[in-house]
Structure 1
């Protein structure tokens, strides 16, 4: 796979999720249904692309201890967010309406450890690691100094209002495009790996 693809695909898929989420809520509630499922699948696909993004950022940062820890923490966060979205999809399939979804979510969140690992704590690892890696790259002069600010903006906008997810995704895309170019320029040719 072209090493640039994940840096473009991940933010575009987050953007897709954010737009679908807005349309899903136009009737006053979100889920269950096609919009709920397709939006969540788009975000899970984005998470899959974030794995090579994190690995490439680690490589650009020099594969040192800090970048390795940040990448490992980020992948744990990806697993937490992925679990959350997989649960959301399953609940959507099992529920006839939004009220039915709430019942299932209450049952799931009553399981000890699940709220922290899957909803309240674990997902933050994904976002913090993303910011940590970009800050490391900025400190090493591998990205422009404004790049961490765009990534931080992407992370903060949904806390203000989840309808800002698409705007945050655009910020992330703008910050990732130069990284994609850098990754492509510094990637070893396939024949050099033999």
Structure 2
């Protein structure tokens, strides 16, 4: 399936959380030696999550479209997309640092240097990425209000977000919960024009 066809298919509601699960599982494998990164598994996991984040962008746009637009849905979508941009920047930095560093100490030093740049710690490693989850949750709540999705979907999504925030080691569980919340939308999502 090409990217063009992927953009037109509601399969992103499944692929985005599925790739989050992949990232979480690869991250667990990477940590079996007691540390995460640098190396092949670090890069593989982060690339999987980077693709997931791009797919989540299509999820956000499709959810807004399913609601029918409007101020609340558009505001939630804009917030979510802004959070995605911050998250994509974070993952991009992590990939570059993981590729450039020879060991964990060098990686930590490079990441510290990036975070010392004014504004980066807040926008890229702080509350910036959280906007994605807040906006996505608002969209799914709105979809439940207009009965485009069952009332349990926002609850399961909130659980998934809570699990993701509580521990990176639980990302496979978080991805599974997010998948459960979003998968029903795949049947109802409009194709992209």
TM-score normalised by length of structure 2:
0.93
2:158 aligns with: 152
Structure 2: 5+ residue runs without aligned partners?
none
2:90 aligns with: 84
1:30 aligns with: 36
Kindly report the root-mean-square deviation, in angstroms, between the aligned alpha carbons of the 2 structures. 1.2
**Aligned to 1:108, which of 114, 125, 128?**
114
Q: After alignment, is 142-151 or 156-165 more displaced?
A: 156-165
1:14-50, Cα deviation, whole Å (9 max, x unpaired): 0000000000001000000000001000001001111
TM-score normalised by length of structure 1:
0.93
1:70 aligns with: 76
Output aligned runs, 1:128-139, within 5 Å.
128-139=134-145
Cα distance between partner residues in 1 of 2:14 and 2:105: 36
Q: What's the secondary structure of 2:125's corresponding residue?
A: helix
**Aligned to 2:174, which of 168, 174, 186?**
168
Q: What's the secondary structure of 1:119's corresponding residue?
A: coil
Q: How many aligned positions are there? A: 187
**Aligned to 1:13, which of 9, 14, 19?**
19
1:163 to partner: Cα distance = 1.2
